[in-house]
Amino acid sequence: MSKPLLLRGGRVVTMDASRRVLDADVLIENGRIKSVGRTGGRADGRSKPTIIDCTGLVILPGLIQAHIHLCQTLFRGLADDLSLEAWLAQRIWPLEAAHTAASVHASAMLGAAELLLGGTTAILDMETVRHTGAAFAALESIGIRATAGKCLMDASSNPPSLRESTDAALSESADLCARWHGAADGRLRYCFAPRFAPSCTGALLRAVSDLAEKAAAVIHTHAAETPLELDTVKRETGHDEIAYLDSVGISGPRTALAHCVWVDTDGIARLARQETNVVHCPSSNLKLGSGLAPIPEMLAAGCRVAIGADGAPCNNRLDAFAEMRLAALLHKPRLGPETMPAAQVLELATLGGARALGLEAEIGSIEVGKCADLIVLDLGGPHAQPEEADLISRIVYSARAADVRHVIVDGRIVVRDGELKTGDVAEIRETANKEARRLRRAVGF
């Protein structure tokens, strides 16, 4: 049994059904939230708890990002100011093809360190075609909660350096799922990750649907990111992309579709009816010029929505606070200042992400019995004052990643006083830079 942990005296934003905000202690035992309330510093067990004084601080559920590419962290700054199609063909695919197990591991460590230090405790991650086991090894050691999967690309239109046969792609995915789904006492899970419809054959997508159902795993892919993507799917299948994905089983509560920028009214209704998860990536969609996803319309229709930063080369940060602020602001000029209020956006970054990962019973709120994935913020800086201002507004509109003081994942302290405890940041940075230099030489950038 792990030693109990007590977060004492904080302002607790529970995100429970009543959206309570409490002045309370949070007691953690064996990786779970044992109580939320005044404890007087006592734990029920025989062990005296480790106490973190949270006086004057804010305790939040850990933020959840439901679309990340950790394999691309080393590509930061190497693919700026390009359209999606050029970004992929000229930069991302050559770099991914040059990856080794060592560079994938270094990329995942660098990205996960940034995520944890910035208050993201759980992610849905799409890796590249090869070396996914190296990414899982990094995720296991650094302590983040992650659902990750090998990228699947079997269509003949893919670059030869990344294209695999359908059988080989599915076989390796099944093996990775057997090895990693539920690893690290359930902190790590596997997802099946077809890149996007134009990269995959219908046979692969149908098989992915079957494999994911059998394994009780999430499906993670991209959809409706650009008009060219929609036109390609329509030309090749005769169907609208959302309808096509539905026809091959890529839909429903176990599916997360990143972007969904170019979805019409019928598509929104279909997504809501299916209970498919949409992942809003506002910074990425702006930087690549893809457009603005109709998130307010999706929410009004009853769609399940989460947020994500996407990858470092199309953002260029993995900052959940930046994504929350942008998600709240983007739609106001079009639909009015009351659109996407702070409380709604905070839900996307917590409970919405939990739903996308299929973990709504486990994470996303501070409630007794849930996994202890928590962050502690210091909003004492001038940018988040005065302290009597609305707390949720301060979190969404004013807070930033640098305000994160402590991070707990599965009851384990992974960041304390702003310092990563599960890895040496200087070593992570040095290794990442070494591997990034090798990648650039390999592709001639």
Euclidean distance between CA atoms 386 and 371, whole angstroms: 32
- Average pLDDT in the chain: 96
Instruction: List Cα–Cα distances, 275 to 272, 299, 307, in angstroms.
Output: 5, 12, 16
Highest CATH level, class, for 63-356: alpha beta
Q: Residue 26: enclosing H or E segment and its boundaries?
A: strand 21-29
Mean pLDDT of 412-427: 98
Mean pLDDT of 111-128: 98
Mean pLDDT of 95-119: 98
Residues 264, 222: contact at Cβ < 8 Å? no
CATH 2.30.40.10 residue ranges for the chain: 5-61+362-420
**pTM for the whole structure:** 0.97
Q: 265: which residues sit within 8 A by CB, 6+ positions away?
A: 297
Q: Quote the pLDDT of residue 2.
A: 73
pLDDT in tens, 146-194: 999 999 999 999 999 999 999 999 999 999 999 999 999 999 999 999 9
Euclidean distance between CA atoms 233 and 250, whole angstroms: 14
Euclidean distance between CA atoms 148 and 90, whole angstroms: 25
Euclidean distance between CA atoms 131 and 440, whole angstroms: 18
The full DSSP string for 70-85 is GGGGGGTTSS-S--HH
Mean pLDDT of 5-19: 98
Euclidean distance between CA atoms 161 and 275, whole angstroms: 35
Euclidean distance between CA atoms 226 and 265, whole angstroms: 16
CATH 3.20.20.140 residue ranges for the chain: 63-356
> Helix-strand-coil percent breakdown of the chain, rounded to 5?
40, 20, 35
Highest CATH level, class, for 5-61+362-420: mainly beta
Mean pLDDT of 327-352: 98
